[in-house]
Amino acid sequence: MAEWVDRYWTSNDGLKLHYRDYAGPHERPPILCLPGLTRNARDFEPVADRLAGEWRIIAVEFRGRGQSQYDPNPANYVPHTYAADVLKLLDQLGIADAVFFGTSLGGIVAMLMSSTDSERIAGAMINDIGPVVEDRGIDRLRAYVGKGGVFANWAEAAESAATRNGIAFPNYTADQWDVFVRRQASERPDGTVRSDYDMAIAQPFATAQGTPPFDPWPLIDGLRDKPVLLVRGETSDLLSVETAERMIETLPKSELVTVPGIGHAPILDEPEAVAGIDRLLAKVLAESEVEAG
């Protein structure tokens, strides 16, 4: 496992937020990793294990996740707040631009930031999400997000994860489910295993719409001149084939990679995703060299 340093920054409203900082060359834009709804910095361990050292990797934990402070006001658990937190981090670190890797909710935050601060994005990997989010996927997430999250031991936690996510990873082994759940939960002093997020994140999510009551497609306009990789799980219930294809048609420098046999969301250690990420990073470097003259 690649080595990292635990670091923190302070949000505009005073919360102490956490990120993993994996060392890498400063002459390249860092890879900024933004996790899914109930996930944390550990979500990107496969990416960091492969790329850390060659690239600096900053794996963020949104407020209410992992080691980041929980928000006393659950109404703040929304993408606009997360985007403001990320922008504050970039400003605090003096990072002009980064390669955004966003999984699910993290991809929504990346798209949102592209519509307001596109100059901060050197390139983007959007993992299994788009401007239009399928209702059936939202309904599946609502069925378990914020409910329970406490297990007697790791075996029970892994079994629960397999029940919830088996539709997405039908061929996972018991060992793979164990790794999967250890990236989402932690063992407490009393021996119980608990999900590493504030159950209150479910409150605004419970009323959120899959497709907002406005045209969401301008959200990705800021990515039109950026190298973009869109990763989709073949059986995804959040990102449809139609939405993925329209994204590729809309973004001239984009590429779609479909990971066969799995749903939402690819882990990013799959051969198709790995190869796509390498092509994206090569494009980012090529564009950086051109801009540098």
Domains and CATH numbers, the chain: 5-136+201-292 (3.40.50.1820), 147-196 (no CATH)
Three-point CA angle 29, 34, 35, nearest 5°? 150
DSSP H helical segments within the chain, as ranges? 45-51, 79-93, 105-116, 135-142, 154-165, 174-182, 202-207, 241-250, 271-292
CA-based Rg of the chain, rounded to a whole angstrom?
18
- Name the β-bridge partners of 133: none
* Res 126: pLDDT: 98
Residue pointed to by tokens 């990997």: 125
Cβ proximity of 99 and 29 under 8 Å: yes
Neighbours of 291 (CB within 10 A): 8
Print pLDDT tens along the chain (293 aa): 899 999 999 999 999 999 999 999 999 999 999 999 999 999 999 999 999 999 999 999 999 999 999 999 999 999 999 999 999 999 999 999 999 999 999 999 999 999 999 999 999 999 999 999 999 999 898 888 998 789 999 999 999 999 999 999 999 999 999 999 999 999 999 999 999 999 999 998 777 655 566 789 999 999 999 999 999 999 999 999 999 999 999 999 999 999 999 999 999 999 999 999 999 999 999 998 777 66
The set of residues, in sequence order, having a beta carbon less than 8 Å from that of 151 and lying 6+ positions away, is 157, 160, 185, 192, 193, 194
Distance CA 223, CA 97 (A): 13
Structure tokens at 257: 């990679």
What pLDDT, on a 0 to 100 scale, did the predictor assign at position 208?
63
Could you tell me if residue 98 is left (phi over 0), alpha (psi between -120 and 50 degrees) or otherwise beta? beta
Beta strand 5-10 with 16-22: parallel, antiparallel or unpaired? Answer: antiparallel
User: What pLDDT shows up at residue 144?
Assistant: 87
In angstroms, the Cα distances linking 101 to 111, 130, 142, 213 are 11, 14, 24, 26
Predicted TM-score of the model (pTM): 0.96
3-class secondary structure, 11: coil
CA distance 34 to 210: 20
Q: Report the alpha-carbon distance of residue 156 to residue 47 in Å, rounded.
A: 27
What's the pLDDT score for residue 148? 78
Calpha distance 45→55 (Å, rounded): 14
Which contiguous run of DSSP H or E holds residue 20?
strand 16-22
* Nearest residue to 97 via CA among 111, 109, 87: 87
| φ/ψ bin of 145: left (φ > 0), alpha (ψ from -120 to 50), beta (otherwise) | beta
Polymer length of the chain: 293
